[in-house]
Chains A and B, each alone.
Chain A
Amino acid sequence: MSLLQIIIVSSTIMLGLGIVFGAGLGYFAKVFKVQENPLIEEITEILPDANCGACGFSGCRALAEAIANGKASIDLCRVGGEETAKNIAKLLGINTDNISIEKYIAVLLCKGGKSLAEKDAKVKGIRSCKIANNLQMSEKSCSYSCLGYGDCVLVCPFGAIKMNEEELPEIDSSLCTGCGICVKECPREVLKLFPMKDKVLAFCRNLEKGSTVRNACKVGCITCYVCEKKCPKNAIKMENNLPVINIEKCDLCGICINVCPTKTLSLLKALSAKGNEKK
């Protein structure tokens, strides 16, 4: 058999088999055609396609399916926020006027950077917050502090977190979508989600008494009660050795920020503006 014959015979057989199999598959595909709701595709287009899972579904497509089937509300997507919710509402023919979603941002509630927090150990090996926390291998004396190995930087799907020279994560408020993935990742729970508006916050999570905190960190809350006494609106209450600020009473006068001896209290907006300047 010559080479040409081999080629002709082989390709004829393959072509024949291909046609037979293809016809069979085509028929089968027609019989088992999935009647999919066209809404799912359209909602998926609107959703930001970040697949971050902050809505509680396994991805944008799963959320779109749930919305199309009426099993999820349209305002679940935190990344897309108000705009996405309104677009979906338009698609579904719902009134868009009373839809308003607060934009959230992740905030690091620890100021204890490299130069301010006392260190009593040196960690060698893998630099990971999870491992360090599980093995109780903290470099810093404060056992409530940010560990500073940047697990949150790695998990952020939007690239909004960077480590600064103080070895603390810095959150870019223009990129942060408030999905909350870093909050779930942080083993020390120093990252928290807050509505993105002006607000006085205590940037410390240490629940121990003042003298212990003073030995561990220069910027930790030492439970001196000065902010509680000086607040003209009585908006601040100490709970578990930390100040808790009642947002409804607070009028952002800034007295507490000025009197705080360790500069633990700060305005949330001031922090994010500083972050933007650096960028």
Chain B
Amino acid sequence: MGELQNLMNIFINAAFAQNFVFIRFLALCSFVGMTTSMDNAVGMGGAVTFVTVMASIISYAVYQFVLVPLHVEYLQIIVFILTIAVFVQLVEIYLKKAVPSLYRAMGIYLPLIATNCMILAVALLNVTEEFNLLEATVFSFGASIGYVLALVVLAGIRERLSYAETPSILRGYPLIFFIATFIAVAFMGLQGIAR
């Protein structure tokens, strides 16, 4: 298998076949919380993509060049969380300056990116799957593309739903979880298109 094909495989696998929201059921909090409108979903997707890619590169480097030589691999979770928190803080400072409207719209969900389990899962999977730096970067990028895809799909549906007449017993979150379930079932059909 060529190098490019291998990277492609990792990307497709992370984004679709093993989609972090619909197949692995991670990051559901922000998936439901930040899909009230398309703008919010895209903004959140961008912020999470940045944090995921940067945090996984830095945490990969820290793991390989600090933790492994010193034989303290057991520190990985706490170190990864520290790295993620730093990048979330960075994004928060940047957004407050550059896009204040998005900063306000995201509210509590912005600092909560730090507890987004998808990002920690990506950092940990990079280690357990024994990826090299390039593979880890592609994997984290694929994972966040899958996350953005999930957010945008649900946000599009919710924007239309707000104008629809829905049965009152399903209105609000119950209906959203039903929809998420159906999309997840559809994503199960993508199993096996990558390694």
Taking a contact as CB atoms under 8 Å apart, the answer to whether B72 and A13 are in contact is: yes
Q: Count residues on chain A whose CB falls below 8 Å from chain B CBs.
A: 15
**Pick the contact of B82 from A9, A18, A29 — CB < 8 Å?**
A18
Q: Is the interface of B mostly helix, strand, loop or mixed?
A: helix
Produce 1/0 per residue, B56-93, CB < 8 A to A. 00000010001100101001001100110010011001
Produce 1/0 per residue, A32-48, CB < 8 A to B. 11100000000000000
Nearest chain B residue, comparing its CB with the CB of A65: B100
Nearest chain A residue, comparing its CB with the CB of B71: A1
Taking a contact as CB atoms under 8 Å apart, the answer to whether B94 and A32 are in contact is: yes
Chain A residues near B195: list those with CB within 8 A.
none
Taking a contact as CB atoms under 8 Å apart, the answer to whether A9 and B86 are in contact is: no
Q: Interface stretch among A20-28, A187-195, A267-275?
A: A20-28
Taking a contact as CB atoms under 8 Å apart, the answer to whether A21 and B97 are in contact is: no
Chain B residues near A24: list those with CB within 8 A.
86
Taking a contact as CB atoms under 8 Å apart, the answer to whether B75 and A14 are in contact is: yes
Chain B residues near A10: list those with CB within 8 A.
72, 75
Asked if B96 is at the interface of the complex by the 8 Å CB criterion, the answer is yes
Q: In the docked arrangement, what's the CA distance between A24 and B89, Å?
A: 11
Q: Count residues on chain B whose CB falls below 8 Å from chain A CBs.
A: 19
Taking a contact as CB atoms under 8 Å apart, the answer to whether B79 and A17 are in contact is: yes
Chain A residues near B79: list those with CB within 8 A.
13-14, 17
Nearest chain B residue, comparing its CB with the CB of A6: B72
Q: In the docked arrangement, what's the CA distance between A109 and B38, Å?
A: 42
Chain A residues near B66: list those with CB within 8 A.
13, 17
Chain B residues near A29: list those with CB within 8 A.
93
Chain A residues near B96: list those with CB within 8 A.
32, 34
Taking a contact as CB atoms under 8 Å apart, the answer to whether B97 and A13 are in contact is: no
Chain A residues near B82: list those with CB within 8 A.
14, 17-18, 21
Taking a contact as CB atoms under 8 Å apart, the answer to whether A32 and B75 are in contact is: no
Chain B residues near A25: list those with CB within 8 A.
86, 89-90, 93
Write the nearest CB–CB distance from B25 to chain A, whole angstroms.
30
Q: In the docked arrangement, what's the CA distance between A33 and B75, Å?
A: 33
Produce 1/0 per residue, B30-74, CB < 8 A to A. 000000000000000000000000000000001000110010100
Q: In the docked arrangement, what's the CA distance between A10 and B89, Å?
A: 24
Nearest chain B residue, comparing its CB with the CB of A134: B168
Given known A-B contacts A17-B79, A21-B83, A9 and B94 have beta carbons under 8 A apart: no
Chain B residues near A14: list those with CB within 8 A.
75, 78-79, 82
Taking a contact as CB atoms under 8 Å apart, the answer to whether B72 and A28 are in contact is: no
Write the nearest CB–CB distance from B99 to chain A, whole angstroms.
12
Taking a contact as CB atoms under 8 Å apart, the answer to whether A32 and B93 are in contact is: yes
Q: In the docked arrangement, what's the CA distance between A14 and B66, Å?
A: 11
Given known A-B contacts A32-B93, A32-B94, A13 and B83 have beta carbons under 8 A apart: no
Q: In the docked arrangement, what's the CA distance between A33 and B79, Å?
A: 27
**Pick the contact of B70 from A9, A28, A34, A131 — CB < 8 Å?**
A9
Residues in B170-192 with C-beta less than 8 Å from chain A: none
Write the nearest CB–CB distance from B142 to chain A, whole angstroms.
26
Taking a contact as CB atoms under 8 Å apart, the answer to whether B72 and A34 are in contact is: no
Write the nearest CB–CB distance from A56 to chain B, whole angstroms.
16
Q: In the docked arrangement, what's the CA distance between A131 and B171, Å?
A: 13
Assuming A28-B90, A29-B93, what are 18 further A-B pairs, CB within 8 angstroms?
A: A10-B72, A13-B66, A13-B70, A13-B72, A14-B75, A14-B79, A17-B66, A21-B86, A25-B93, A28-B93, A28-B94, A32-B93, A32-B94, A32-B97, A33-B97, A34-B96, A34-B97, A131-B168
A-B contact pairs, 9 of them (CB 8 A): A13-B75, A14-B75, A21-B82, A21-B86, A28-B90, A28-B94, A32-B96, A34-B97, A131-B168
Closest 8 CB pairs of A and B: A32-B97, A21-B86, A32-B93, A34-B97, A29-B93, A34-B96, A28-B90, A32-B94
